[in-house]
Structure 1
Amino acid sequence: MNETELTRTNAVPPTAADAAALERTWSDPPGLLGWFCAINHKEIGQRYIVSTFVFFVAAGALALLMRIQLARPNSGLIGPDLYNQLFTVHGTTMMFLFAVPVMQAVAIWLLPPMLGARSIAFPRLNAYAYWIYLFGALMLFVALLLNVGPDNGWFSYVPLAGPDYGPGKRADIWAQMITFSETSGLVTAVVILVTILKLRAPGMTLNRMPLFAWAMLVTSLMVMFAMPSVMLASTALIMDRLIGTHFYNPAEGGDVLLWQHLFWFFGHPEVYFIFVPALGFMSHIIATFSRRPVFGYTAMVLALVATGFMSFGLWVHHMFATNLPEVGKAFFTAMSMAIALPSALQIFCWLATLATGKLWLRTPLLFVLAFFFVLVLGGLSGIMLGMVPLDLQVHDTYFVVAHLHYVLIGGAVFPLFGAIYYWFPKITGRMMSETLGRWNFWLFFVGFNLTFFPMHLLGLHGMPRRVYTYPAGMGWEGMNLLATVGAFTIAASALLFVVNVWRSARHGEVAGANPWNAGTLEWATASPPPAVNFEAPPVVHGREPLWQAAEEPVQVGGLAVNQREVLVTTVVEARPDHRVVFPTPSPWPFVAAVATTVLFIASIFTPWAVVWGSIPLAIALIAWFWPSREQSQQEMLLERSP
């Protein structure tokens, strides 16, 4: 089939019979077995989103316990050992099991309809990534419940995490949890990257691609370059602990600072894995509720690319307290200031959009407006911490804790809540309550600032991080009590959000296909979308397809209805290239994930598990990729078609 045939206008819209056939072809099987076989990106995306928020709530509960412990001096509610486990699992969960995966989860659900695609790339691999993520997260919390939770901080510095100072299996569990989460993250990054580059609707050139897709493209490339660093670091750590290597042992030629370099080479770009997708949320919400396209599209794209590139040049500003050359510190100080420029450029573009548009003040926009206030404060304290003299004074104090939360929550969680309120009607077909949404916003905004702003002052007054109690008379009591009150306010906001989601999904006002009158392509299909997303994939003629007059042709014709046939387009111009038949639902991604989990967990106790555990994994992978007779026949027919 040539390009002209692939992009011809359908003279007659798809019939009801065609629509029913497509729904049968693209739906996951029913029942319990079908649940384990599911590969539809919307089903996997919803599971991912729900799972990440469950772990977000769990990590929040751990934080609440810590704040109760610190509300007054000399508290004996929680002992030092349990407290170390709580703050380690809290930080690990928020960074590795919530903040990064939830952004990828939203992308998994949203990108195909936003790009005009029938499916996400490599749907079975996508399902495998979810199961790996889930099993790794469950392993971490089971370890905590069994009192063997990691206790060296979410960064697991050596030598504290090494064999000499970290006996038992706690550090090993942390290191293997990293292997779980980073395997899942890398796989998902590949899936998202290929979807963006090769499955866009005809006509959606790179210059017409939605800004959220640009944000996820940059993020996925960052993940692919940065995550191998922490996987290498954690593998070297567990080898030091289990088989007697000496990567981090100075007495045998190793180097403890090697861990920090490897970890923070990943760790600082990780902040932008979280932040950059949130910038994409911001652009869509601001455009919709300003009733105009985002000002400075090209500048916005270049700022996203510059942010991703520059994020790899800042890792040493986490290491200013180590014995590094002063010239090197000066370079990383300069980079810490320079990376604020592309973010500032995007902020000014958004402000120009808001100033020249006609504002519609709904809950998603409230969360976006809060972003400006919270992130600017976090960004300013970040520039302060990029200065070596100040960093040496406040290093390992609560000032750093305050900065971290202002950047991550202000720069990611506020836009994420806005995104959930914005795309909830598309996902569920129902609107969220505006009244509960506003209560959710104000409680979260007030509670957040009550909790974390006093921590700046606590840090400047000398309160160190990672202490489970403190003596009376230090002048820290009032601010710690205020922070604890703020933490309970955040908990009330989170509870209200859960109630709003539950109530709205069951009894909310029915949403149409485009309740916000937005301009991007995901709003062109039903709410929620059919299994195939688009019965006839669209042809795109602008950046905001629903706000622009369509030219002919408007739909792709000629794709099969009785098999999972997908149109693949060129990278730059999105011209029709060829067709491919996607795989059907299968239990083997789940089986392969179980085999991988057994290998990873067993290797904590014996290195031979890597050898013997590879056998069931290899069997599962062979079964996964073994083509069925029906699949082979379909591919042969497709190759023979004109």
Structure 2
Amino acid sequence: MPSSTTERGAGPGTEVVERLTAEWAEPPTLRGWFSTVDHKRIGRRYLVTAAVFFGFAGFSALAMRTQLAGPEAEILSPGEYNQLFSMHGTAMIFLFSTPMLFGFGNFLVPLMVGARDMAFPRLNAFGYWVFLFAGLFMWASVPAGAAPNGGWFAYVPLTDERHTPGLHLDVYTLGLLFLGISTSAGAINFIVTSLKLRAPGMSLNRVPVFVWAIVATSFMVIFALPVLNLDNALLFLDRRFDTRFFDTDRGGNVLLWQHLFWIFGHPDVYIIVMPALGIVSAVLPVFCRRGIVAYPLIVLSVVAIAIISFGVWVHHMFATGLPQLSYGFFSAASTIITIPSGLQIFAWLATMLLGRIVVRVPFLFVVGFIVTFVIGGFTGVMFALTAFDQQTTDSYFVVAHFHYVLFGGAVFPILAAIYYWLPKISGRMYSERLGRYAFWLIFVGMNLTFFPMHVSGLLGMPRRVYTYPGGLGWDPWNLLATVGAYVLGLGLLLVAVGVVHALRRGAPAPDDPWGGDSLEWATSSPPKPYNFPVLPRVHSLHPVWDPRTAESTGPGATEDRILTDGRQTLFTSELDGRYERAVRMPEETLKPLVAAIGLLTVFVGLLFAWYWVAAAGGALFAGTLAGWLWPAHRTPEEAGVPA
């Protein structure tokens, strides 16, 4: 199979490359840094920012595990523990997992579908700035002693104004409403990019599984996130303006919070895991030297998971006293959703069985994912059974389960993706030996941290406790978990060291160091600002392994796929990727940053009840948006519309 661009044939001439560079390159100035709309730069920023928030959440976890290493410890006060506990969960779910995976999507989706940028580059930049400001908005509350302290789930009535006074839960509700704007904008952008900007010939049966996973996730975000936004808005109104949505004394309903939260919350598990499954399906074939087994069934399972996940939320509420008849339906749905997940696992195992495995660090993390995710899935099936769930709910057994699902199901694929695409993103190779050390420390540390929690949970240890008395049989298991947390932390530190070492001293990366099969490996490492000097014509599911696709970017390429007259990319049809027309893409601008600053001002004003400040921020946002959307005067040719 071809392994580099040069082996696949000559590209366009120097004059074409110079014209494309002049059109797409952004100025290397401070203003250019703030005004960029390049999806690759924005994707890298998502990755770095989410990694920093992951570090904050990881230090919070180490502090909590240190507090729980032995009975009756006094390292953290109850208030400090609750704030760190709440911010740890909130950050891992909302500020790390989804943004990190969307960061890979930002960088890779246009490259994988053969486009030159996202469909809405300025909206993409706006989404990043909102994500950054929302994360800072929430994390700034920790040193101020006003961090969320009601858990990442914020159950009422414990989180109403009477039981939790102060700004703690106002930071939570407003921060998640702010962040939801970024996530929604990103989801819309992914859907349109994947449906309309695919290279000619990339019909739906030739779309990479990772892109399918990002699109399915984006549709889930569009349907699930409004429910969470409504829940947070109602709680903020209850706390700030004394409405009565969750006040049972005045006709409200506390279970309304749980229903709305988990209608979002369980699909959110798959919103987190789905792109990670796509990463596995992208990485595994390359190191097995063959195409993924059962591609149509994997795509079908991705779509099935996206749909079924909206019908299982009540299994989070089996202990709330709902009608017994309803439990049967949701128990059945919770069991059925394991079928498409299991199908993907068997497809990956078959790919390994039928391939010629090359063991490198990304492959090790994929195998680690399969092992830990299967364990987490096994305990998940146990929770689908009402009787078992009612016995173990709110115990550390639950904590063990969802960490196996989310750490095993998301963090292991993310680490595989870091090592797999780092040469493409940075143009540098990592240290294989350092990567292997990191893998084994993380794999051992993760299992040593979370597996003992199954035992302590079965022994009766409740979750969400900051200390516990001795002599209950929990002491050795908590000590093991704390030792494992430090081993895990050391492994993650080695990953960070390995990335920094690669960026500073790593060997230059070839364009295709792994012999990859998808279109990002047909670009330079790192990719040029315009991605492809010639937009390819795709002829198979594995375009880089296909000589006809390589020939389409050679000297015989026509102008309708070179597009040197301004910043342009192609619109193609949704189903079969037929050529429709060229479209002009917007240039860099400061408007997304200014609009995000306007929204930040709105939410800061609402937090401190400075409503005039919120109104000023709203005016800034509305004015910037009006200027952003004001139609430019262009000729039909400039707009990409046939005359």
Range class of TM-score, shorter chain = over 0.9
Equivalents in 1 of 2:641, 2:250: separation in Å?
63
**1:424 and 2:428 equivalent?**
no
Residue 539 of structure 1 contacts residue 556 of structure 1 at CA under 8 Å; is this kept in 2? no
- The 5 A counterparts of 1:496-507 are 496-507=494-505
Q: Which residue number in structure 2 is paired with residue 219 of structure 1?
A: 217
Q: Which residue number in structure 1 is paired with residue 592 of structure 2?
A: 589
Query: How far off is 1:627 after superposition?
Result: 4.8
Equivalents in 2 of 1:106, 1:539: separation in Å?
24
- The 5 A counterparts of 1:342-421 are 342-421=340-419
2:80 to 79, 82, 98: 82
Equivalents in 2 of 1:61, 1:637: separation in Å?
51
Residue 65 of structure 2 contacts residue 485 of structure 2 at CA under 8 Å; is this kept in 1? yes
Equivalents in 2 of 1:565, 1:169: separation in Å?
47
Equivalents in 1 of 2:126, 2:61: separation in Å?
30
Q: What SS does the corresponding residue of 1:161 show, helix, strand or coil?
A: coil
Equivalents in 2 of 1:504, 1:332: separation in Å?
48
Q: What SS does the corresponding residue of 1:269 show, helix, strand or coil?
A: helix
Compared with structure 1, are the counterparts of its residues 376 and 640 closer, same or farther at alpha carbon in structure 2 (3 Å cutoff)?
Answer: closer
Compared with structure 1, are the counterparts of its residues 603 and 574 closer, same or farther at alpha carbon in structure 2 (3 Å cutoff)?
Answer: same
1:557 to 545, 559, 562: 559
Compared with structure 1, are the counterparts of its residues 34 and 376 closer, same or farther at alpha carbon in structure 2 (3 Å cutoff)?
Answer: same
Query: How far off is 1:576 after superposition?
Result: 1.1
**1:614 and 2:612 equivalent?**
no
Q: What SS does the corresponding residue of 2:71 show, helix, strand or coil?
A: coil
Query: How far off is 1:52 after superposition?
Result: 0.3
User: Aligned letter for 1:504?
Assistant: A
User: Aligned letter for 1:569?
Assistant: T
Equivalents in 2 of 1:560, 1:634: separation in Å?
17
Q: Deviations over 1:318-359 (max 9, x none)?
A: 011101011111111111111100011111111111001000
- The 5 A counterparts of 1:573-588 are 573-588=576-591
User: Aligned letter for 2:623?
Assistant: I
Compared with structure 1, are the counterparts of its residues 473 and 281 closer, same or farther at alpha carbon in structure 2 (3 Å cutoff)?
Answer: same
User: Aligned letter for 2:366?
Assistant: V
**1:481 and 2:479 equivalent?**
yes
Query: How far off is 1:607 after superposition?
Result: 7.8
Q: Which residue number in structure 2 is paired with residue 441 of structure 1?
A: 439
**1:569 and 2:572 equivalent?**
yes
Residue 28 of structure 1 contacts residue 37 of structure 1 at CA under 8 Å; is this kept in 2? no
- The 5 A counterparts of 1:4-403 are 13-403=11-401
Query: How far off is 1:185 after superposition?
Result: 0.6
Q: What SS does the corresponding residue of 1:527 show, helix, strand or coil?
A: coil
Residue 454 of structure 1 contacts residue 482 of structure 1 at CA under 8 Å; is this kept in 2? yes
**1:453 and 2:451 equivalent?**
yes
Query: How far off is 1:28 after superposition?
Result: 2.3
Comparing 580-589 with 542-551, greater Cα deviation is found at: 542-551
Residue 67 of structure 2 contacts residue 75 of structure 2 at CA under 8 Å; is this kept in 1? yes
Identity across the alignment (%): 46
Residue 600 of structure 2 contacts residue 617 of structure 2 at CA under 8 Å; is this kept in 1? no
Equivalents in 2 of 1:574, 1:249: separation in Å?
53
Query: How far off is 1:205 after superposition?
Result: 0.1
Q: What SS does the corresponding residue of 2:517 show, helix, strand or coil?
A: coil
Equivalents in 2 of 1:12, 1:435: separation in Å?
35
Q: Deviations over 1:529-588 (max 9, x none)?
A: 100000110000000011123166454523542411111111001111122111110001
Equivalents in 2 of 1:612, 1:488: separation in Å?
46
Query: How far off is 1:57 after superposition?
Result: 1.0
Query: How far off is 1:431 after superposition?
Result: 1.1
Query: How far off is 1:21 after superposition?
Result: 2.2
- Per the normalisation by structure 1, the TM-score is 0.96
User: Aligned letter for 1:252?
Assistant: R
Comparing 156-165 with 88-97, greater Cα deviation is found at: 156-165
Query: How far off is 1:180 after superposition?
Result: 1.7
Q: Which residue number in structure 2 is paired with residue 468 of structure 1?
A: 466
Compared with structure 1, are the counterparts of its residues 640 and 177 closer, same or farther at alpha carbon in structure 2 (3 Å cutoff)?
Answer: closer
Q: CA RMSD in A?
A: 1.5
Equivalents in 2 of 1:261, 1:534: separation in Å?
47
Q: Deviations over 1:442-497 (max 9, x none)?
A: 00000000000000001001111111111111111111111110000011011111
Q: What SS does the corresponding residue of 2:607 show, helix, strand or coil?
A: coil
Equivalents in 1 of 2:545, 2:569: separation in Å?
26
